Amino acid sequence: MKVIVTDEISEKGLELLEKDPRVQLDVRLGLKTSELHGLIGDYDAIITRSGTQVDAELLSHATNLKMVARAGVGIDNVDVVAASERGIIVVNAPFGNTNSAAEHSMAILLSMCRNVPDANASLKSGQWQRAPFTGYELKHKTMGIIGLGKVGGRVALRSRAFEMDVVVYDPYISEKRAADFGTRLVSLDELVSMADVISVHTPLNDETRDLITGEHFSAMKEGVLVVNCARGGIINESAMLTALQSGKVAGAAFDVWSEEPPKSDVLKKMIAHPRMVVTPHLGANTFEAQTNVAIDVSREILNLLDGKPVENAVNIARFDPDLMAQMRPFMELAALLGDFISQLAPENPGKVIFNYTGKLAAHDCMPITVAGLAALLNRCTDQEINMVNASLVAERRGLIVEQSRSTESNFFSNLITMSLETPQGKRTIAGTLFEGTPKIVKMRDFDTDFTPEEHMLVMHYDDRPGLIGKIGTILGEAQVNIGAMNLGRRIKGGEAMVVLSVDSPVGGETLAKLSEAIGARFVKAVYLKR
């Protein structure tokens, strides 16, 4: 595997890749855009931070790329949609620098409260002044945290250690989750009106851009303190400057900016304001964090190389890491079902339905659905389909994907049923795991019981004496050995579904002989990638 590193990354964090003989690691810093476009087609993975724009144009040249690894929390510089369309996994390192970012949030907050930068400069200049640097205590103040994620949660815990009352605005967490951190959920309007200190910890996206505007500043307490160590642009910077100039905001501490490095007049005025403490995006700039994020993305690349689950992919449906070991066999089962039914069903399916019954259904089954969908679509298009782009490809082909779950199951502890709706009718296949081995237990409305093998024959005909013998004779003449046979039928002498495991592929001429000899409704060879 060839890996290119295009931004400054901790050398210690890259040791995992450097020591693996399967990996060719190339560190190429300071490349021009045109140079990178010319090189990227040779690489399987790219490691970046924020300096490299992994946009649609770059990805169009990345003919072999399988992974974009962003050594940091955000993915602002990566076109995730364009990557997903090409089946490229995008990973980040959401946990490697969370502690660093949380500690920096508290550091610049405390520096602002106690006038540390100005007092430091004053004393270094030879002055001894104390009165101008009278500060604020955090004890008994209300901390308002916007976003109770990995960083926000750590800031909440540290704020409580300062004996602050902590309130949280986060529409994506439960009240119980907030209570676990010793906080309580409030609306955004409630938070801005009651907080003495406001600290933002959300990603920057369409929902959060300009989340805090002039209207919110008007509703804040007089003398409020504002902290941003998340992303520039979450707080409207023009409104922030106005609030500082009016005295509404007693102090602000910013580490991040909508433009980095800052060049606009608004940002320059903010930075120069005497009641602002500023740093140049240092939240993740600790030796520990730089090493940790590099280690995290290096491990993800090795997981990809080893065929293991990728834990921090941002464009793959996945289980909680603690569940992955027990759920992975069901993902493989769904992929088998998708591969199998895609070779039997009529063309132009309009809808695929995944039904989960049993203990399995107690969990979010979307990763299993996507695994089955990817296998289904791989037979329908020349494009390489994987768990990254399966849902996008389905949407663009007009294929409706539905899923249902029920923890009640009459016959199997766990059952996955996949149904395709086509212009020619509905086709169904169902499977389960028996002692870890995949079994297909239903095809259409025929009960079956067989283990999928690499080469298989499926035949549908009207049952009558002597047909099994004819099948064996024709296959024997073609030097095709039968490994196993399963016969499903509803009544004696009625329709029958026969599934054969065979040791080698069956040619078209042999299939035609079989069809004619038994008067088959259909005879199809199935090949399963193993």
pLDDT given at position 319: 65
Phi, psi of 120 (to 5 degrees): -60, -50
Asked if 441 and 482 sit in the same domain, the reply is: no
State the catalytic residue, choosing from 57, 175, 260, 402: 260
pLDDT given at position 175: 82
Q: Which of 376, 514, 498, 361 is nearest to 443 (CA)?
A: 498
pLDDT at residue 493 greater than cutoff 70: no
Here the CATH number for the domain that contains residue 352 is: 3.30.1330.90
Asked if 129 and 224 sit in the same domain, the reply is: yes
Asked if 107 and 256 sit in the same domain, the reply is: yes
pLDDT given at position 380: 65
Q: What is the mean predicted confidence (pLDDT) over 331-345? A: 91
pLDDT at residue 456 greater than cutoff 70: yes
Compare 492 and 224 and report the one with higher pLDDT. 224
Residue 268 belongs to a domain: yes
Asked if 445 and 482 sit in the same domain, the reply is: no
pLDDT at residue 491 greater than cutoff 90: no
Residue 384 belongs to a domain: yes
Compare 491 and 345 and report the one with higher pLDDT. 345
pLDDT in tens, 249-272: 999 999 999 999 999 999 999 999
Answer for the pair 15, 31: CB distance below 8 angstroms, yes or no: no
Answer for the pair 467, 518: CB distance below 8 angstroms, yes or no: yes
Asked if 198 and 327 sit in the same domain, the reply is: no
Separation CA 93–CA 89 (nearest Å): 13
Token representation of residue 382: 């020349």
pLDDT given at position 317: 72
Residue 312 belongs to a domain: no
15 is catalytic: no
Separation CA 403–CA 417 (nearest Å): 10
Residue 311 belongs to a domain: no
Other Cβ atoms closer than 10 A to 522 = 11
Q: What is the mean predicted confidence (pLDDT) over 522-529? A: 88
Answer for the pair 502, 511: CB distance below 8 angstroms, yes or no: no
Q: What is the mean predicted confidence (pLDDT) over 78-90? A: 89
State the catalytic residue, choosing from 28, 37, 160, 281: 281
Answer for the pair 166, 160: CB distance below 8 angstroms, yes or no: yes
Strands (E), 16-136: 24-27, 45-48, 67-70, 89-91
Asked if 162 and 80 sit in the same domain, the reply is: no
pLDDT given at position 410: 75
Residue 284 belongs to a domain: no
Compare 8 and 196 and report the one with higher pLDDT. 196
Answer for the pair 171, 83: CB distance below 8 angstroms, yes or no: no
Phi, psi of 168 (to 5 degrees): -135, 140
Asked if 370 and 408 sit in the same domain, the reply is: yes
231 is catalytic: yes
Question: Sorting pLDDT into bands at 50, 70 and 90, what band is 384?
Answer: low
449 DSSP assignment = E
pLDDT at residue 489 greater than cutoff 90: no
- The b-or-e profile of 472-484 (16+ CB within 10 A means b, else e) is eebbeebebeeee
Residue 330 belongs to a domain: yes
CA dihedral 212, 218, 222, 225 (to 10 degrees): 10
Asked if 153 and 270 sit in the same domain, the reply is: yes
Residue 283 belongs to a domain: no
Side-chain-side CA neighbours of residue 474 (13 Å): 20
Here the CATH number for the domain that contains residue 479 is: 3.30.70.260
State the catalytic residue, choosing from 49, 154, 201, 231: 231
Q: 159-168, 278-287, 481-490: lowest mean pLDDT where?
A: 481-490
Amino acid identity of 460? H
Asked if 8 and 54 sit in the same domain, the reply is: yes
Asked if 112 and 241 sit in the same domain, the reply is: yes
Residue 190 belongs to a domain: yes
Question: Sorting pLDDT into bands at 50, 70 and 90, what band is 322?
Answer: low
**Total domain count for the chain?**
4
Q: Which of 166, 234, 233 is nearest to 194 (CA)?
A: 166
Query: How are the residues of the chain apportioned to helix, strand and coil, as percentages rounded to the nearest 5?
Result: 35, 25, 40
pLDDT given at position 214: 95
Q: DSSP labels for 218-272?
A: HHSPTTEEEEE-S-TTSB-HHHHHHHHHHTSEEEEEES--SSSS--SHHHHHHHH
- Averaged pLDDT score across all residues of the chain: 90
pLDDT given at position 72: 82
Question: What range does the domain containing 422 cover?
Answer: 317-450
281 is catalytic: yes
Q: What is the mean predicted confidence (pLDDT) over 163-187? A: 90
Question: Sorting pLDDT into bands at 50, 70 and 90, what band is 345?
Answer: confident
Element (H, E) at 185: strand 184-185
pLDDT at residue 206 greater than cutoff 80: no
pLDDT given at position 302: 95
Asked if 526 and 428 sit in the same domain, the reply is: no
Asked if 462 and 426 sit in the same domain, the reply is: no
pLDDT in tens, 359-374: 889 888 998 999 999 8
- The b-or-e profile of 41-71 (16+ CB within 10 A means b, else e) is eebbbbbbbbebebeeebbeebeebbbbbbb
Separation CA 115–CA 275 (nearest Å): 9
CA distances, 55 to each of 37, 43, 396, 456 (Å): 11, 16, 21, 44
pLDDT given at position 476: 93
pLDDT given at position 445: 82
pLDDT in tens, 90-126: 998 877 888 999 999 999 999 999 999 999 999 999 9
Here the CATH number for the domain that contains residue 44 is: 3.40.50.720
Compare 61 and 346 and report the one with higher pLDDT. 61
Angle between helices 467-477 and 508-518 (to 10 degrees): 160
pLDDT more than 70, % of the chain: 97
pLDDT in tens, 120-172: 999 999 999 999 999 999 999 999 999 998 899 999 999 999 999 999 998 86
Prediction pTM value = 0.60
pLDDT at residue 383 greater than cutoff 80: no
